[in-house]
Amino acid sequence: MPYDPLIVQPMREELTSAGFTELRSPEDVDAAITSSGISLIVVNSVCGCAAGGARPGVKMSLDNSKKPDHLFTVFAGQDLEATAKAREYFKGQPPSSPAIALIKDGELIGFMPRHAIEGASPDMISSALKKAYDEVCA
């Protein structure tokens, strides 16, 4: 059962205010992820490690000379079908929320699952993402 929309709205806005586009349907996901270039997809969540690590770390990572072409987010526990569709693109990775994925031309090239986010500071998450951006982004 999805969470109350009023509860998750501030969590959504934490990413959309940083330039992320919400993908609310499977069709949105397909259109976004298959677009050309590098896409960062954040599987957002209500859990503490999303609030304390993933969202702030992702936002901090965007302060980098190289960054993804596209910023997308789905919300686990809220946009169930969109989240399930996004996870189909995360080949070889078990379902995880929060999670952070890098996709290039529709193919998974990097993935940070919940267990890598739990206990990590926003600085640690940001640094790992910036390193990935420097390697794969133009």
Whether residue 135 lies inside any domain: the answer is no
Domain assignment present for 138:
no
Q: How many domains does the chain have?
A: 1
Instruction: Give the range of the structural domain holding residue 38, as residue numbers without chain letter.
Output: 5-130
pLDDT at 3: 82
**Residue 36 lies inside a defined structural domain of this protein:** yes
Look at residue 65 and tell me if it is in a domain: yes
Of 16, 24, 46, 47, catalytic: 47
> Is 85 within a domain?
yes
Residue 59 backbone dihedrals phi, psi, to 5 degrees: -65, -40
Whole-angstrom distance, CA of residue 26 vs CA of residue 32: 10
User: Given pLDDT bands bounded at 50, 70 and 90, which one contains residue 16?
Assistant: very high
User: Cα separation of 28 and 138, whole Å?
Assistant: 25
> In the chain, which ranges are continuous DSSP H helix?
5-16, 26-33, 48-49, 55-61, 80-88, 114-117, 122-136
Look at residue 99 and give its three-state secondary structure: strand
More confident: 120 or 5: 120
Domain membership flag for residue 32: yes
Claim: this prediction has a pTM higher than 0.85: yes
* pLDDT tier for residue 117 given thresholds of 50, 70 and 90: very high
Q: What pLDDT shows up at residue 2?
A: 76
Please state the rounded mean pLDDT for residues 45-72: 97
% of the chain residues with pLDDT over 70:
99
Tokens at 26, concatenated: 């499977």
19 pLDDT above the threshold of 80: yes
Examine residue 12 and state whether it is found in any structural domain, yes or no.
Answer: yes
Q: Does the annotation mark 137 as catalytic?
A: no
What element of type H or E holds 51? Answer: none
Question: What's the CATH number where 84 sits?
Answer: 3.40.30.10
49 assigned to active site: yes
Q: Which one is catalytic: 49, 76, 99, 117?
A: 49
